[in-house]
Amino acid sequence: MSILINKDTRLIVQGITGRDGSFHATKMKAYGTNVVGGTSPGKAGENVEGIPVFNTVKDAVNETNANTSVIFVPAKFAKDAILEAADSGIKLIVCITEGVPTLDVVEAYHFVKSKGAQLIGPNCPGLISPEESMVGIMPTMIFKKGGTGVISRSGTLTYEVVYNLTASGMGQSTAIGVGGDPVVGLYYQELLEMFENDPETDSIALIGEIGGDAEERAAAYIKEHITKPVAVFIAGQQAPPGKQMGHAGAIISSGSGTAAEKIAAFEAVGVPVAKEPSEIPELLRSRIKK
């Protein structure tokens, strides 16, 4: 099985006629994702590689019964794109756009929740359930169907960990990049619960980084609620305090959010922490019950 997306996912691409939207819509369709349409105001009736274009998300939903949307629009339009998707009945919204103002994300996040929908991102690579569906910009060639769920704040490190998992013969059930901004949608706790309840996920790889306290809260949640093996890698172990490292959320402030604190939180609850991403497969394999 997988979580969030599968062969039944019916995807629309918001911003499909733009450079990034058209490129990745084609890639997602080629992978086998059921891309049923896209939106670009004023361009209804056109198509991108056979994918029909609609003026609005509501029009696309009415015509295609879409249930998932991926957003490739400029940052200043991202909030409105998320609100439009949620208001039109889309249940899973994946925002790839980076540079979205934090207050815009806060407003969009609460509106999405009020509509009973779910948000991934912004500033994320999306997610993939190998051999079923890919929504976002994941490099599909490194993924393999299997039993390890992957949750990551870093797109690049997602790919590195997955490459090592696949090379060691450990496939993935679903891999999700949650995004590196200070405020994003679905995060560790919600996704850990989904993987815990997925009968075909047998282990979980969690990739964190400096900044905030999400990893510490994830460690506490794992202790109380997760029975499956978990292994962790924390990025930014050499980062100096007060300096933003890559992601807007990756900054050590007021002496909190350090890699050392996050590593200590996981080790305190018995979760092994890899020194290098390449160690993740063996840490999981040694803990998976035969």
Rounded to 10 degrees, the C-alpha dihedral 73/248/174/88 comes to: -40
Question: What is the strand order of the sheet 203-209 is part of?
Answer: 133-136, 126-129, 172-177, 145-152, 203-209, 230-235, 273-274
121 phi/psi in degrees, rounded to 5? 95, -165
CA atoms of 12 and 53, how far apart (whole Å): 9
pLDDT value of position 290: 54
pLDDT in tens, 107-122: 999 999 999 999 999 9
185 phi/psi in degrees, rounded to 5? -80, -120
Sorted by where each begins, the domain ranges of the chain are 11-120, 139-285
In CATH, the number for domain 11-120 is 3.40.50.720
CA atoms of 95 and 15, how far apart (whole Å): 11
The set of residues, in sequence order, having a beta carbon less than 8 Å from that of 57 and lying 6+ positions away, is 12, 14, 39, 66, 69, 84, 85, 87, 88, 90
Give the closest residue to 129 by CA, choosing from 56, 36, 31, 40: 31
Q: Which of 24, 110, 225, 247 is catalytic?
A: 247
The set of residues, in sequence order, having a beta carbon less than 8 Å from that of 39 and lying 6+ positions away, is 12, 13, 14, 15, 16, 53, 54, 55, 56, 57, 59, 60
User: Does this chain's domain 11-120 share its CATH topology with 139-285?
Assistant: yes
pLDDT at 239 over 60: no
Amino acid (one-letter) located at 66 = A
Half-sphere exposure of 214 toward its Cβ, with a 13 Å CA cutoff?
30
pLDDT in tens, 66-104: 999 999 999 999 999 999 999 999 999 999 999 999 999
pLDDT at 220 over 80: yes
pLDDT at 39 over 60: yes
pTM for the full predicted model: 0.93
Check if the beta carbon of residue 184 is closer than 8 Å to that of residue 118.
no
Is CATH 3.40.50.300 correct for 139-285? Answer: no
- Is 110 a known active-site residue? no
Query: Can you read off the two tokens belonging to residue 198?
Result: 């997925």
Q: Stretch 249-277: mean pLDDT, rounded?
A: 80
Check if the beta carbon of residue 45 is closer than 8 Å to that of residue 37.
no
